[in-house]
Amino acid sequence: MDIETITAIAAGICMAICQVPQAVKIYKAGKAEGLSLGMQIILTSGIFFWFLTGVILSLKGNGGAGTPMWISNGFCLIFCIYVLVMCIRTRLQEKKQD
């Protein structure tokens, strides 16, 4: 295995699990106080586009180069969407209380 493959796998693993601690914290608290909604929108959008790039590369048949990309970003996207939804839900609940 060459260095490029090793670094790509390491990056994929890090990106795949980057939102897990935040999602667990939100799940336990039941709310997403203190998180930037704008940052979550941008992060989720970026992860979605990396996921889409991986799917496109896989469909083009580029020797499987896109498969690790869409798998790792797809996994991360699940947690990003959860965090984003909880941020929106928390903001809506705060507005109802005002």
For residue 98, the surrounding DSSP H or E stretch is none
pLDDT > 70 in the chain, percent: 97
Give the whole-angstrom CA distance, residue 75 versus residue 47.
10
pTM: 0.85
Residue pLDDT, tens place only, 19-42:
999 999 999 999 999 999 999 999
Q: Are 83 and 22 in contact (CB under 8 A)?
A: yes
